[in-house]
Structure 1
Amino acid sequence: MDKSAAQFFDLIDRLGNLVRVNLRAAGGQHGLQPVHLQALVYLAIANRYSNTPQALTEYLGLTKGTVSQSLLLLHRRGLIERQGDTDDKRLVRLALSESGAQLLKDIQLLPDWAQVITRIAPQRSKIALAVLKELLLALQLGAGNRSFGVCNTCQHNLHEGPRSYRCGLTEEKLSLHDTRMICREHQPRQKSRR
């Protein structure tokens, strides 16, 4: 393995371990496993095209069975709501309940991270973030996975005027809030060549 690739892998693996430790600690206080918190966090940022069990399964990279059992537990605890889709009766839509949103607010998954990031020079933090985003996208696309990017960074996002947006894929109007959520159908914008 290339030395820099090995260093990236090692650092990201170690950061991932810290994230899992934080999730275990935060979830353990509420009888939840890391996968349950990951599902809640996902539903807090997923748009209306991405709030299905199948999209969650793809995002987490887990089996349908694991995700299904996790969703059953979250629903029984009143942390998520399940609704049939108004247009496609085969689809189930998921949303955080008020209790689920409050739980995420109460457990504060990122306080240590937020504190540490403030100690890094803003320009260095910005560069690190850009590199990690580029690495994530390259790995996702290289493996044939969806990018689940933020709507306003998608090639299908059409800015039609002041606070007026439309999805070029579905032809549906998008609110400003919609454009800030992640989307299963996200296609990264092509970088313009100069």
Structure 2
Amino acid sequence: MDSNSLYNHLERLSELLRTDLRKSGIKHGLQPVQLEVLHYLSVCNRYSDTPLAVSDYLGQTKGTVSQTIKVLEQKGLLLRRTDAGDKRVSHLGLTAKGSKLLDRLVPPPMLTNACDNLSKKARTQINHALNQLVMALLQSNGMKSFGVCHTCRYNGRSEDGGYYCNLVQQPLTVDDVQRICREHEAAA
């Protein structure tokens, strides 16, 4: 399969999902980018929940993300808190209302219904192939992977058997290592 054919499939798939997400979001006064911000914040770790990380992950400008965050705060869907160590940095998190709404809207119903009609084997194969494609796109374009912490080269074990990040030199929780991180680098 050549890249043109693959692009056509991916573009169509993206448009179908975006349309379904737009329909779901409109019912709640939300644009797709606002749902994307909420979704990202629901899967990232505490080192990646900043406005800058959101901009990097979504490939959006700081201005767009800043306005999106303001709207989500006004709607009571996310909270901003100042970093204890560096007052210039803010961390973002979903409110209970934001989490509840996101659980209802993402993944979009269209995708959930389609996946329900596929075998477990087909879902696994598609997931694996899409993961390979995403990683190839990121690597060939020098972009950050935003991978799951436990697959990172910096992830290690502390003396007490817990998890430890060798990049930031801090202990990690079980929750941290199951989330995506903007500092992720694939283990060798």
TM-score w.r.t. structure 2 length?
0.92
Superposed CA RMSD in Å reads 1.8
* Native 8 Å contact 1:163 1:175 kept in 2: no
Return the match for 1:18 from 16, 28, 41.
16
Q: CA deviation at 1:164?
A: 1.9
What residue is the counterpart of 1:125 in the other structure?
123
Structure 2 residue 130 is the aligned partner of structure 1 residue 114? no
Distance in 2 separating the partners of 1:12 and 1:120:
18
What residue is the counterpart of 1:166 in the other structure?
164
What residue is the counterpart of 1:77 in the other structure?
75
Return the match for 2:64 from 60, 63, 66.
66
**Paired residue secondary structure (2:126):** helix
What residue is the counterpart of 1:55 in the other structure?
53
1:14-49 CA-to-partner distances (Å, cap 9, x unmatched) read 111011111101110011100000000011111011
Q: CA deviation at 1:108?
A: 4.7
User: Structure 2 vs 1, CA of residues 123 and 165 (structure 1 numbering), >3 Å: closer, same or farther?
Assistant: same
Distance in 2 separating the partners of 1:115 and 1:159:
40
1:133-156 CA-to-partner distances (Å, cap 9, x unmatched) read 111111112222111111111111
User: Superposition pairs for residues 66-105 of structure 1, below 5 Å?
Assistant: 66-105=64-103
Q: CA deviation at 1:7?
A: 1.4
Distance in 2 separating the partners of 1:163 and 1:102:
34
Q: CA deviation at 1:163?
A: 6.8
User: Structure 2 vs 1, CA of residues 125 and 67 (structure 1 numbering), >3 Å: closer, same or farther?
Assistant: same
User: Structure 2 vs 1, CA of residues 161 and 14 (structure 1 numbering), >3 Å: closer, same or farther?
Assistant: farther
Distance in 2 separating the partners of 1:88 and 1:60:
24
Aligned length: 188
* Native 8 Å contact 2:21 2:108 kept in 1: no
User: Structure 2 vs 1, CA of residues 121 and 69 (structure 1 numbering), >3 Å: closer, same or farther?
Assistant: same
* Native 8 Å contact 1:27 1:34 kept in 2: yes
**Paired residue secondary structure (2:187):** coil
Return the match for 2:174 from 163, 173, 176.
176
* Native 8 Å contact 1:26 1:109 kept in 2: no
Instruction: Tell me: higher relative CO, structure 1 or 2? Use CA pairs within 8 A at least 6 residues apart.
Output: 2
Percent of matched pairs sharing the same residue? 38
Specify the code of the residue in structure 2 equivalent to 1:112. Answer: M
1:161-182 CA-to-partner distances (Å, cap 9, x unmatched) read 8972111211211111111111
Distance in 1 separating the partners of 2:103 and 2:125:
28
